[in-house]
């Protein structure tokens, strides 16, 4: 496995097709491991698998956890190698963002619900860095986790709207035994919070299992479960939105439900696809 830090070196590195990119911010866990293994399958023996590790400053708002975000480069490299990566691309912030950078990407439309209102500018930062990674690595395929459901929708739309010749694929969320979605932020939880956090998944499962067509009634059901089983948590949102447009639904037809819950320093998100 080769580690590349220099942008020009990554850009001129001869990868073999299909080149698969798994963008990450590091602090890798078993969920990333499965994402990278899936990337290996898609690349096959002949293709190249690139994992980028970059904690992207432009997607964190003021007061968010950019400084505290866990960094564990040596462990991350071991995980990447074990999961079959050929290259780890690990640029510095200084190299990625010039002081006088003036052009960036704005994501509108799919960002008015869910994480959008609580994280202004977040998806602009995500789109900008992913577009840069696409231009630097020039992959044929890019893989993202479905846990960040809205992020995946926004990036697929960016691929379409800006004509990136890249197939953007979502991979299923990997969970702990008790249902908690794996996340680099789970390590912020203390013991009591960790014990309560699986309530998010239980709330989403209850929402999906209900036959109620009224979205608000299903959301109330989920809220009750979180209030009862996770009193240390504070709900940021619990919503049922259309999968394509991310618009909030009153009546359920082609929905996805998503939730974000704060536990002190940890903002955890999860989602479930539900059928009408």
Q: Judge whether 32 counts as a catalytic residue.
A: yes
Query: 129 or 136: whose CB is closer to ligand PAF?
Result: 129
Kindly state the smallest distance separating residue 133's Cβ from ligand PAF, in Å. 8
| Residue closer to ligand PAF, measured from CB, 129 or 204 | 129
Q: Which is nearer to ligand PAF, 24 or 111 (CB)?
A: 24
User: In this structure, are strands 234-242 and 167-171 parallel, antiparallel, or unpaired?
Assistant: unpaired
Which member of 13, 29, 32, 90 is catalytic? 32
Q: Which is nearer to ligand PAF, 145 or 255 (CB)?
A: 145
Residues with Cβ within 8 Å of residue 142, at least 6 apart in sequence: 20, 21, 22, 23, 130, 134, 155, 166, 167, 168, 169
Specify the 3-state DSSP secondary structure of 61.
coil
Can you give the binding site for ligand PAF, defined by CB under 6 A? 23-25, 56, 59, 126, 129-130, 148, 151
Nearest distance in Å: CB 17, ligand PAF = 22
Cβ of residue 127: shortest distance to ligand PAF, in angstroms?
Answer: 9
CA-to-CA distance for 246 and 151, rounded, in angstroms? 11
Candidates 179, 213, 216, 173; CA nearest to 196 is 179
Nearest-approach distance from CB 40 to ligand PAF, in angstroms:
18
Tokens matching residue 164: 């990136």
> Which of helix, strand or coil describes residue 89?
strand
Which residues are known catalytic residues?
Answer: 32
């Amino acid at each position: 496995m080769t580690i590349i830090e220099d942008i020009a070196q990554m850009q001129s590195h001869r990868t073999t097709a299909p080149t698969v990119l798994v963008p990450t911010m590091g602090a890798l866990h078993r969920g990333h491991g499965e994402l990278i293994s899936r990337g290996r399958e898609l690349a096959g023996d002949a293709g190249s698998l690139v994992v980028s590790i970059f904690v992207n400053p432009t997607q964190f708002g003021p007061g968010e956890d950019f400084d505290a975000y866990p960094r564990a480069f040596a462990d991350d490299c071991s995980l990447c190698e074990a999961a079959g990566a050929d290259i780890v691309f690990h640029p510095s912030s200084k190299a990625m963002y010039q002081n006088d950078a003036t052009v960036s990407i704005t994501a509108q439309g799919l960002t008015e619900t869910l994480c959008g209102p609580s994280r202004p500018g977040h998806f602009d930062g995500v789109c900008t860095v992913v577009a840069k990674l696409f231009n630097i690595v020039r992959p044929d395929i890019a893989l993202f986790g479905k846990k960040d459901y809205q992020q995946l929708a926004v990036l697929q739309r960016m691929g379409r709207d800006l004509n990136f010749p890249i197939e953007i694929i979502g991979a299923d969320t990997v969970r702990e035994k008790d249902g908690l979605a794996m996340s680099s932020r789970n390590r912020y939880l203390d013991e009591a919070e960790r014990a309560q956090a699986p309530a998010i998944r239980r709330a989403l499962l209850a929402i999906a299992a209900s036959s109620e067509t009224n979205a608000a009634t299903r959301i109330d059901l989920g809220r009750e479960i979180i209030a009862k089983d996770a009193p240390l948590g504070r709900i940021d949102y619990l919503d049922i939105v259309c999968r394509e447009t991310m618009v909030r639904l009153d009546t359920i037809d082609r929905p996805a439900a998503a939730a974000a819950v704060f536990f002190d320093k940890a903002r955890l998100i999860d989602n479930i696809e539900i059928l009408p």
